[in-house]
Structure 1
Amino acid sequence: MPSGLAAVPPAQLPTKYRDVIKIALRPRQTRAFVLAAVAWHLFLTSALLSTLSLSLISPLTLAASLLSFGLGVLPLLAKRKRSLSQITTPPARLPSSKAQQLSAALSDPTLVTLIFQHVVAFVVLALGYAALLTYRKGGWAPQIWVESHASFYLNERFLYLVGQSIVLGAVYAFVSRSLPSPQAVASPSFDASTLTTDTPVTIKHRVVAAFTARLPRAALVAALTSSASILVYSIVRIRMWSTILLVLGTRGVMRRLLVPSFRVEFAFFEVSVRSVLFSIAATCAVETAYLLLDVYLSHPLPPVSKYAKFPNRLLLDGIEEPVLFFSNHAFSELARLSAGDKEMRGLIYRDVGGDVTAWMQIRDRCLGLLEESRLFVVRRGQVATKPQASMPSTSQPQQQKTSAKPPQTIWDQLAAGQTAPKDSTPPSTSSPATAPSTSTTVSTPPQQQPAPLLSIQSLSKTSLNLITLAWKLLPSDAKHVLFGARRQQTLLGESPSSLASSVIARDAHRTICAALTLKSLLCQSLTEDPYGTVSKDIKRILTAFVGLDSEIRTLGMQLEAQAREIDDKLERVEADGDGQSKQGEGRGEVQDELKRVWTAGGAGQLDLYLVASMREILNTFERFDLVLGDELEIRLGECLR
């Protein structure tokens, strides 16, 4: 029995699946918090350049690291844990290009709150770092003694560290927590390979894989942000403080409160080294805390329904759970029990006494999930909303046309070398109307927080106007060098890999679990089902498998053709620019990216295990004369060849 449930008597076990999962996850949650605190302590001492010294276990260092972690990182983890219990729909389709993803993330109403939370966290971490630096060598306290004036003044190093932490928190929140979309980052990250691979995938394996994939990127973002901050500050430092002194005066009270003393050396080299080390340590610590929580909370649990008084009822409550986090755990448990627990399968087979049996509920829920995934692939990620239902029938083809070829934006005009049109305001005013079809937000939260949304949109519009003006001033040769064909494709072009990851692999874990559950219960029913009710649904299950797999393969071939066409176009443009033919020397970057996403993401796994499930079902029942119909047999042959 899981240690979290060991303290609960079976008679007092909750009847709701979500409550049981919360109890079972408490030890894992505590372990993730402890490991995240240890990671921040190690990163902090590394930034202090004292990892191998006795200060690693000094009471002051331990107290500062624990206090900064509790006030800075722990609230972020608590917010993350709460958000997992509130998401009821999988993330919608991602925008088709990186420019549209950036625009959608900037216009998301939750971005301001997200940035504020991470800014506060990084400032708290910076305060703990500055306190330890002041204790070790001095010079980083908020106030510093000036001998010539015999008084305390603001410390410029401390002010810079806090200011850089604000920038670092905003950059990290936008880059790591909002892209490619806030909804995709906030959704629970369950890994279907923990159920489908022959070798067991442990928490340690998943943590190591997450470290390898996410920490180098976080360290690079932190190093670039910190280096850019110190470079910009060194350029504007004199002019900025001179302007502030002109406004406040040199002898007033406000000068003592807001302006540091310049009689103390700033020491650019030391500040740059210390700030870069802190930025990398803080960013890696926050990223480590997030990935530890995600992995520990999303890894499959030991079966919790077996310890309930009515296991079937608890499992059925779990797969009907509207919250994605608990529903993923329920489908994961159901798939594992259906594949490897004969006793639990017997309970499902023998539950035929009521009007709606356990098998019927499991079958209908799993087939409904497969149908939802199929329709999402058929619509190419365009979710039908209420306003679309009241529009004429011509709106759906028009919406599919706009999703395939989005309207020309300011980024497209810049790529084509065009100037800003006179009617450049209508696209920004019409963006709320097109937001449901291009962005990942399904509801309409901008009505709740109109002020932050308007401010972000106005800032984005101003930035685009500045970019347009700077673009017009550049010579044509410089435009080609700065924004060539491949850069245009990377920023503005259609991304087949994005479509594969957000349409096919949108809800891959639950879909694979549903397919494995149906396959296992159907194949094992040949020898274990005493009533033979499960085998009556062979044709219905195979039809659902074939329908989803056919749509996946159709979209996969379309994406492959689109990627090949993009690569060929880029090769022709580069060949025309160089004035010579480059046939046979194509790099195929878009195709390689699509293959990597297809293999690493849930799209390839979903296709693979749908085919494997269909093959195993047919091999199990091959001795019987199955009447499947000509159409289904033809489609099965196409999927299995």
Structure 2
Amino acid sequence: MASPLTTSVLQGSTSTPIRATTSNLSLRAAPSVPPASQAYEPLVKHVLRRRLVYHLFPYSAAFTWALVVITSIWMQGGVSEVGVVATLLQPVRPSTIAITVLSWTLGAIPIVVLRKRYSSAAPTPATSPSQIFHTAWNKPTTTRALLTYISSAFVLTLLHILAAYTYQEDPRLSLFVKSKKHPYYLNGRLLYLLSSQLLVASVYLLRNILLDRFTVRWNSLFSPNAHIQNFRLARVLIVGFTLVLLATLNTAVHTFLFGLARLIALPALYKLPLIPRLLRPFTSHFLRGPYSLVLLLRNGPLIARAFALSFSTLAIWEFAESVFDHVVSEPVTVSQTTADPALTIISGTTSSDLYFKHFAYNELVHFANEDSDAARAQRSALFADQKYNPSMWSTLVRESLITLGKDYQLLLRRGKPEAPAPAAAPTALKAPPPPPGIPQTPLLRTSVFKPSSQQVIRQARDALAGRSLARDFPFIMATGENVPELFRSVLHAPPSQVVSESSALKKSEEEMKKMAKTLDPKRWKTMLLKALETQVEKVVPKRVVEGKQRLGRWWTRERVNKVVECAVPNRKLDALAIQALSQLVCHSLTEDKYGVVQRDIPRILEAMISFLTAIEEYRTELQTKYPTPSADDLAHLPPAEVAQKEKVMIELATAGDVLGEVDDVMRVVFVALKNGLVRIVQTFGERLSAFRFPPRIAKILQEYVDYT
């Protein structure tokens, strides 16, 4: 007998409703490796911020303080005039501290902010000083940098004047001269100082542009004692001598230009209409006296003051920028402060900013080289990661190979930019075929009825009105003769006349193009400059012309080291990536429990061998392109060719440092690739036969196996 529950179920009705079993399990996609902007870059920015606050700011403030103390003692006549006690108390005087704070805040800090804002890890792709200058001139950041330097220079000038009125009786640096009759005459001494500082700012910015100073130098990542080398006594002396030479040249050139402005420019302005009325109340006293450049040489104290002000300004800027260069290139270690160091480093390698990428790969090299139980455990966890999709190892390999691949393609192009893809030709739209089943019978466009008398009269009237002469009177249109003037306006021109009119139109277009080219202002400017240059060369001495030509060749000549740097601009980043990958591949033989790395070993070796082959070919090309003639070759040549060869040898000797820099540039990646390949081959040995390689890669790899 069936139970009541069974009976109720069989009847289709239940007393207890059926419910699905609840569960906390759900299908969730594995997260990807967090981006560098969230996991890595904030940590690096925090470290850099602390370095600016605790390293750069105190050092630059202390240097500015010492410079202000020395300048104030010099203004008072030296230690002999001030006294020993006053000299010792000078650093703590309220006036000294106030001027120091203002000079550091308004003179040094804006330069640091400028460098922090516009520094980049990518070098400028230029091979000569002219290209570097024109590339920088086309950037809007150059104008902002120039305004920053000029503003800082003017502020330091005003503070120097304030200190002069504090420590001296009458430095005669007021805005207007002391004259009751002419109270608005501008003070020439003040204008001299301001214009000198304007030239200082321009020259210093030009020097930074030619040195590519806004590009980060990564020497600290490759030399363990870089923080000591940056502040050696020899380096300090070289920088000091450079600043003295730069201030001396600036003062001499500015004195000459200031004299020319008073001798030529200002009298020329007074020859123009309306302008003298504006200038006369302020500058008419400059026209008095002898027009001689020796006039400025009589003002020795003013020139000495300009030199001291230029040197102090350059010293403040140079010290702040030198410390900044050291701070921003010093290695950063942030992974050990996080819960998962490997995840933090690999997240940093995915950064789109090359600056943070350098730090991440440098830290990855130390992570791969560390020999400790904790480091081995972290590397094993990196290889066996399954929490992220793609895994951490896959993300690292992909980012590293993409980085190396881009630089490899750039090396093959010898630093030239990638050619734009050709635009696809527009395809003509084709009419769709008619649907099947519809008859292709042409439609009749004429009347099917018999024409009436009214239609015949209408056709005749249209013909007389000239609407259908070609249809109704073809003989008239063919000859064009005996046609009344009323109907000639509707006749078509013969083919010969159409051809002649089209040729005349093309000729007129060519003439208009020639006229536009003739009226091009750039062409006229070039022609005028060449004509002016020709006339000047006829007047000036021959040595001056030769010096100008040498300067022009120096300005436009391509530097060999710059050509190579354009081919491998990220060579140090590539070297770090190669070192890290090779070390991790070697450690995977014992630390990779599941063989995750093995599937990527062929790709890694192929990328490294391809890169190494391209570098070796480029080195051979450079050695062939820049040969050095021997003494035996010169002995069998005629005197004229010997003289020419000697000039070439002198140029090669002068370019010896350049060629040495070429070897240094290429050696960074070359040595890293060689060491990485040898390390992998020695680690795996005969096990490499289990992988499949392309024939070219296998042949090169076999040579390494045989060698090791």
TM-score normalized by structure 2? 0.67
What pairs with 1:518-533 in structure 2 (closer than 5 Å)? 518-533=581-596
Selected match of 1:359 from 377, 388, 393: 393
Question: Which residue does 1:224 correspond to in 2?
Answer: 249
Distance 1:211 1:507, change over 3 A: farther
Higher relative contact order (CA 8 A, sep 6+): 1
TM-score normalized by structure 1? 0.73
Check conservation: 1:376, 1:382, Cα contact below 8 A.
yes
Amino acid at match of 1:635: I
Indicate the larger mover: 339-348 or 318-327: 339-348
Question: Which residue does 1:378 correspond to in 2?
Answer: 412
Distance 1:328 1:427 in 2: 52
Classify the secondary structure of the residue corresponding to 2:558: coil
Q: Deviations over 1:136-194 (max 9, x none)?
A: 22315334773886979643222211111112112211221x226xxx54333323x63
CA displacement at 1:216 relative to structure 2: 4.7
CA displacement at 1:97 relative to structure 2: 3.4
CA displacement at 1:471 relative to structure 2: 5.8
Selected match of 1:63 from 98, 115, 131: 98
Question: Which residue does 2:50 correspond to in 1?
Answer: 27
Selected match of 1:339 from 369, 372, 380: 369
Classify the secondary structure of the residue corresponding to 2:251: helix
Indicate the larger mover: 611-620 or 255-264: 255-264
CA displacement at 1:108 relative to structure 2: 4.0
Does residue 205 (structure 1) correspond to residue 240 (structure 2)? The answer is: no
Selected match of 1:350 from 384, 389, 394: 384
Classify the secondary structure of the residue corresponding to 1:588: helix
Distance 2:588 2:98 in 1: 59
Distance 1:596 1:467, change over 3 A: farther
Distance 1:476 1:124, change over 3 A: closer
What pairs with 1:14-163 in structure 2 (closer than 5 Å)? 15-30=38-53, 31-47=55-71, 50=74, 53-54=87-88, 55-84=90-119, 90-91=122-123, 93-94=125-126, 96-137=127-168, 138-143=170-175, 146=178, 154-163=186-195
Amino acid at match of 1:269: G
Question: Which residue does 2:221 correspond to in 1?
Answer: 194
Distance 1:460 1:317 in 2: 54
Distance 2:124 2:176 in 1: 52
What pairs with 1:71-470 in structure 2 (closer than 5 Å)? 71-84=106-119, 90-91=122-123, 93-94=125-126, 96-137=127-168, 138-143=170-175, 146=178, 154-176=186-208, 178-179=209-210, 184-191=212-219, 194-195=221-222, 197=223, 200-208=224-232, 216-237=241-262, 268-301=299-332, 303-340=333-370, 341-384=375-418, 387-390=420-423, 464-465=529-530, 468-470=533-535
Check conservation: 1:131, 1:140, Cα contact below 8 A.
no
Distance 1:163 1:604, change over 3 A: same
Check conservation: 1:308, 1:314, Cα contact below 8 A.
yes
Check conservation: 2:217, 2:329, Cα contact below 8 A.
yes
Gaps of 5+ in 2: 1-35, 80-86, 290-294, 426-513
Classify the secondary structure of the residue corresponding to 2:626: helix
Distance 1:171 1:326 in 2: 31
CA displacement at 1:15 relative to structure 2: 4.2
Question: Which residue does 1:6 correspond to in 2?
Answer: none
Classify the secondary structure of the residue corresponding to 1:382: coil
Distance 1:270 1:461 in 2: 44
What pairs with 1:546-585 in structure 2 (closer than 5 Å)? 546-564=609-627, 576=640, 582=646
Distance 1:159 1:487, change over 3 A: closer
Distance 1:495 1:254, change over 3 A: closer
Distance 1:39 1:460, change over 3 A: farther
Gaps of 5+ in 1: 1-12, 393-422, 430-453
Amino acid at match of 1:231: F
Check conservation: 2:72, 2:167, Cα contact below 8 A.
no
Distance 1:225 1:343, change over 3 A: farther
CA displacement at 1:304 relative to structure 2: 1.2
Check conservation: 2:350, 2:399, Cα contact below 8 A.
yes
Q: Deviations over 1:445-486 (max 9, x none)?
A: xxxxxxxxx9xx9999699557634565368965873356x7
Distance 1:611 1:206 in 2: 29
Distance 1:462 1:584 in 2: 33
Classify the secondary structure of the residue corresponding to 1:321: coil
Distance 1:351 1:427 in 2: 70
Distance 2:411 2:213 in 1: 21
Check conservation: 2:382, 2:393, Cα contact below 8 A.
yes
Q: Deviations over 1:110-147 (max 9, x none)?
A: 43332222111111122222222232223153347738
Indicate the larger mover: 113-122 or 365-374: 113-122
Distance 1:45 1:615 in 2: 58
Distance 2:109 2:115 in 1: 10
Amino acid at match of 1:160: Y
Amino acid at match of 1:634: K
Distance 1:492 1:248 in 2: 41
Question: Which residue does 2:480 correspond to in 1?
Answer: none
Distance 1:554 1:215, change over 3 A: farther
Distance 1:428 1:531 in 2: 75
Backbone CA RMSD of aligned residues: 4.4
Does residue 496 (structure 1) correspond to residue 496 (structure 2)? The answer is: no
Distance 1:187 1:258 in 2: 44
How many residue pairs align between the two structures?
553
CA displacement at 1:226 relative to structure 2: 2.0
Distance 1:596 1:460 in 2: 41
CA displacement at 1:529 relative to structure 2: 2.2
Distance 2:200 2:131 in 1: 23
Distance 1:24 1:108, change over 3 A: closer
Check conservation: 1:32, 1:292, Cα contact below 8 A.
yes
Check conservation: 2:348, 2:356, Cα contact below 8 A.
yes
